[in-house]
């Protein structure tokens, strides 16, 4: 009896110790991650941080004071018409491509799960293979295609490819594998619902956790995607905000704050559904 | 029975209908560019905006000219080396940290509070890392890390542990800073997916393990990891794709560094294709090398994590049985 008690308290002590360590590590990490953000805001209004390469292959970080601190009036003047146009372009591209990505990935995953067609397993393997090969490998061909068919400077080239994203399809498929029940679909069929209607009105709401998770990641990925846009968007009218600065003469520092608002809003709005609800991989049929 | 089969078949056509958009867009925007990249690697295609590839043997040049040029370049090898160094050195500590924290945060016995805030904080850099802001926040992260490293180096040398500036050179080098910054930027994703995977496991499983007297390490390796295998596969793929295609952070240190200490494969490809030389053909060859690396990595990951050995054995047995049945008939 007494030995039992001793081991119990030892276990409790260990748990408390681990708890303290966890809190310390989390706080340190959070500080490490959030401090740069604070210094970024300070940088907009105060000093400027510049990384300079040196001859020996290393680098030095130099803090240059601006001539004058930016006043509020100067700050508001930064948000001029080009900035707003670019912001609108970026919102358009990100929102439409995220919606297309999520909807068509969900429908593809549903097609793999719900129907027993012949090439189903082959198609699933194909998705798994292609998800491990990112589109950046084919970027030369993609850019050449844009040049050839005069589709550079066209935002459609950034939106339409989002329909085929194997990574999202795989995630949705994992989720459906664990939660899908045929009875729901069959009872809806008996009630006379068409297949499209079953998907739109029954399956999509059921997939909410997976959709929320993937929406956040797709939104952030599309929002911060600047490599291909910086190559194919040349005209200032179609430039998105994240490529505007690379080439334009007037470097817009204040626009950085515009950049951070939408992803944070999306995260705050959706994070309730993310994570906790995603029951993946535990159930194997 | 036959009737039911008939009904099922009536619905299977919808499977094909539902994947049409995916397949069409994939063929146009993924497969076609990949195929043409493959073709360009054996072509002459230089100068900005040139869209007229000339097949190499048709203009009297050896077929593998682009590849030999790439494999001769010294910078290619340093790019290859750096890519793998950055990938391994940032992924391993990041995974240990992310999984450890995910396990601790989801442990029922510990009741960690304010999980929402931690998640937001860890995911914050990725949330902010778009375009201009990405440059800004990454450079501030880099500056922060460099300052911290510099301070600790100075403290070390003052304290007189027998350490000189030379011993601390690695900590202050470009490579180390890139690794630390990419850990900080990518850590949140792994953490969020890991928490998602762990919370998906039924609580009863952990309770049973606890009653049987398993300690935390045993629970993690023997229960948590095997139960979240699909999610683990997903996390690995995200890590591999992001890690081998690393571009944002290293490119902050300048595209034409003389010692090439920050050059990655993606940067090398980008430099060849879209900066200065506009050698689309050489860049295509580099893309194909990257493709080969991705395929090897994909195969390794697939056979290690996703392929169910028992299932494969089972299917093989079924196939054999069928064959024998046919033979018998």
CA angle B181, B187, B192 (to 5 degrees): 160
Query: Which pair of structure tokens corresponds to residue B103?
Result: 């396990």
Summary mean pLDDT of chain A? 78
| Domain co-membership, A237 together with A108 | yes
A202 touches chain B (CB under 8 A): no
Domain ranges of chain B: 1-33, 76-328
Domain of residue A173, CATH code? 1.10.3720.10
Is A285 a domain residue? no
End position of a domain, from candidates A34, A64, A94: A64
Counted domains in chain A:
2
Q: Within the 58-87 window of chain A, which residues sit less than 8 Å (CB to CB) from chain B?
A: 58-59, 61
The pLDDT assigned to B99 comes to 92
Q: Which domain, by its residues, includes A48? A: 2-64
Is A110 a domain residue? yes
- Which of A56, A136, A263 is nearest residue B127 as measured by Cβ atoms? A263
| Domain co-membership, A168 together with A268 | yes
C-alpha span between A252 and B89 (Å, rounded): 35
Q: Given an 8 Å threshold on Cβ–Cβ distance, is A112 in contact with B30?
A: no
Question: Closest-CA residue in chain B for A246?
Answer: B132
The pLDDT assigned to A274 comes to 66
C-alpha span between B143 and A40 (Å, rounded): 11
| Domain co-membership, A162 together with A43 | no
What residues pair up with A52 in beta bridges, in sequence order?
Answer: A60
What is the residue-level pLDDT of chain B in tens, covering all 329 positions? 456 666 666 778 888 889 899 999 999 998 999 999 888 888 887 777 677 777 877 777 787 888 888 888 888 888 888 899 999 998 999 999 999 988 888 887 777 777 778 888 888 777 776 544 455 556 666 666 666 666 666 666 565 555 555 555 666 677 887 888 788 888 888 988 888 888 878 888 888 888 888 888 888 888 888 888 888 888 998 898 888 888 877 777 765 556 677 788 888 888 888 776 788 888 888 899 999 999 898 888 888 877 777 777 788 888 888 888 877 76
Is A283 a domain residue? no
- Which of B18, B33, B247 is nearest residue A108 as measured by Cβ atoms? B18
> Model ipTM?
0.81
Q: Which CATH number is correct for B76-328, 3.40.47.10, 1.10.287.70, 1.10.3720.10, 3.40.50.2020? A: 1.10.3720.10
Is A284 a domain residue? no
Query: Which pair of structure tokens corresponds to residue B179?
Result: 């690794």
Cβ atoms of A32 and B117 within 8 Å: the answer is no
Phi, psi values for residue B20, rounded to 5°: -55, -50
End position of a domain, from candidates A42, A64, A86: A64
Residue A230 pLDDT exceeds 60: yes
Q: For helices A120-131 and A166-179, what crossing angle results, to 10°?
A: 130
Is A282 a domain residue? no
Q: Which among A211, A129, A131, A118 is positioned nearest to A166, based on CA atoms?
A: A131
| Domain co-membership, A204 together with A250 | yes
CA distances for B122 relative to B116, B180, B186, B197, B208, angstroms: 10, 14, 9, 17, 31
| A237 vs B239, more confident | B239
What residues pair up with A48 in beta bridges, in sequence order?
Answer: A64
End position of a domain, from candidates A15, A48, A64: A64
B163 touches chain A (CB under 8 A): no
Q: Which among A25, A187, A203, A16 is positioned nearest to A111, based on CA atoms?
A: A203
| Domain co-membership, A45 together with A78 | no
Residues in B closer than 8 angstroms to A241, CB to CB, are 131-132
Residues in B closer than 8 angstroms to A263, CB to CB, are 127-128, 130
What residues pair up with B46 in beta bridges, in sequence order?
Answer: B279
Cβ atoms of A137 and A76 within 8 Å: the answer is no
A28 touches chain B (CB under 8 A): no
Residues in B closer than 8 angstroms to A193, CB to CB, are none
């Amino acid at each position: 009896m007494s030995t039992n008690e001793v081991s119990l308290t030892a276990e409790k002590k260990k748990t408390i110790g681990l708890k303290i360590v966890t809190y310390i590590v989390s706080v340190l990490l959070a500080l490490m991650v959030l401090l740069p953000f604070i210094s970024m805001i300070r940088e907009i209004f105060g000093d400027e941080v510049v990384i300079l390469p040196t001859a020996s292959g290393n680098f030095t970080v130099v803090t240059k004071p601006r001539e004058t601190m930016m006043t509020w009036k100067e700050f508001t003047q930064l948000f001029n018409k080009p900035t707003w146009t670019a912001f609108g372009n970026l919102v358009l591209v990100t929102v439409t491509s995220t919606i297309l990505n999520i909807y068509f990935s969900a429908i593809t995953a549903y097609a793999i799960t719900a129907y027993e067609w012949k090439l189903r397993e082959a198609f699933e393997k194909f998705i798994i293979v292609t998800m491990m090969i990112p589109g950046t490998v084919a970027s030369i061909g993609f850019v050449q295609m844009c040049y050839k068919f005069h589709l550079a400077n066209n935002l459609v080239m950034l939106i339409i490819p989002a329909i085929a994203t194997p990574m999202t399809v795989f995630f949705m498929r994992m989720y459906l594998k664990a939660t899908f029940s045929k009875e729901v679909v069959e009872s809806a069929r008996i009630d006379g619902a068409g297949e499209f209607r079953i998907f739109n009105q029954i399956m999509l709401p059921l997939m909410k956790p997976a959709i929320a998770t993937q929406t956040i990641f797709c939104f952030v990925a599309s929002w911060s995607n600047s490599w291909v846009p910086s190559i194919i968007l040349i005209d200032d009218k179609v430039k998105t905000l994240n490529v505007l600065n690379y080439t334009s003469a007037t470097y817009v520092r204040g626009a950085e704050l515009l950049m951070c608002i939408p992803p944070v809003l999306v995260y705050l709005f959706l994070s309730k559904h993310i994570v906790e609800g995603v029951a993946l991989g535990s159930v194997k049929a | 029975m036959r009737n039911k089969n008939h009904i099922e078949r009536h619905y299977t056509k919808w499977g094909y209908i539902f994947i049409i958009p995916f397949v069409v867009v994939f063929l146009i925007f993924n497969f076609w560019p990949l195929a043409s990249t493959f073709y360009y690697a054996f072509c002459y295609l230089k100068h900005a905006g040139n869209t007229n590839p000339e097949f190499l043997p048709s203009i009297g040049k050896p077929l593998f000219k682009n590849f030999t040029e790439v494999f001769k370049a010294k910078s290619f090898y340093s790019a290859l080396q750096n890519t793998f160094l950055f990938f391994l050195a940032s992924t391993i500590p990041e995974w240990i940290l992310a999984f450890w924290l995910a396990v601790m945060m989801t442990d029922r016995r510990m009741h960690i509070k304010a999980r929402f805030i931690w998640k937001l904080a860890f995911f914050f850099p990725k949330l902010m890392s778009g375009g201009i802001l990405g440059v800004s926040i990454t450079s501030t992260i880099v500056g922060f890390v460099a300052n911290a490293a510099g301070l600790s180096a100075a403290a070390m040398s003052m304290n007189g542990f027998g350490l000189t500036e030379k011993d601390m050179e690695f900590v202050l080098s470009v490579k180390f800073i890139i690794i630390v910054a990419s850990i900080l930027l990518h850590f949140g994703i792994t953490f969020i997916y890991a928490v998602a995977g762990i919370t998906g496991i039924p609580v009863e499983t952990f309770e049973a393990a606890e009653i049987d007297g398993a300690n935390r390490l045993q629970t993690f390796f023997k229960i948590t990891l095997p139960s979240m295998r699909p999610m683990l596969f997903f996390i690995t793929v995200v890590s591999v794709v992001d890690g081998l295609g690393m571009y944002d952070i290293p490119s902050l240190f300048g595209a034409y560094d003389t010692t090439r200490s920050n050059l990655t494969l993606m940067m090398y490809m980008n430099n060849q294709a879209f900066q200065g030389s506009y050698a689309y053909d050489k860049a295509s060859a580099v893309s194909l090398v990257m493709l080969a690396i991705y395929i090897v990595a994909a195969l390794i990951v697939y056979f290690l994590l996703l392929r169910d050995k028992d299932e494969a054995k089972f299917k093989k047995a079924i196939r054999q049985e069928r064959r024998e049945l046919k033979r018998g008939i």
